Amino acid sequence: MIVTRIQLFCDGDHGMDIYFPEDGPMDGAILTAAELRKEAKKAGWGRTRAGMDLCESCNADRKADRK
């Protein structure tokens, strides 16, 4: 059996890897990349115009820097 798992990786500089969802697919759901990003956005993740995915911490820092 081949299992494919789609996760987002935070492009921020943490020194450790941060993924969404943390443990792989949510409740066995099969999601497209667009649906996954929609779920991640609900959890506080963001995406820059340059195509970087940011965890909730990095996304909050980016928004604070823009103000």
8-13 mean pLDDT: 90
Start-to-end C-alpha separation, the chain: 49
pLDDT (0 to 100) of residue 9:
92
Tens digit of each residue's pLDDT (9 = 90 or more) over 15-56? 889 999 887 666 666 778 888 899 899 999 999 999 999 999
**Who contacts 43 (Cβ-Cβ below 8 Å, separation ≥6)?**
20, 56
pLDDT (0 to 100) of residue 28:
65
Phi, psi of 27 (to 5 degrees): 50, 35
Distance in angstroms (rounded) separating the CA atoms of residues 53 and 44: 11
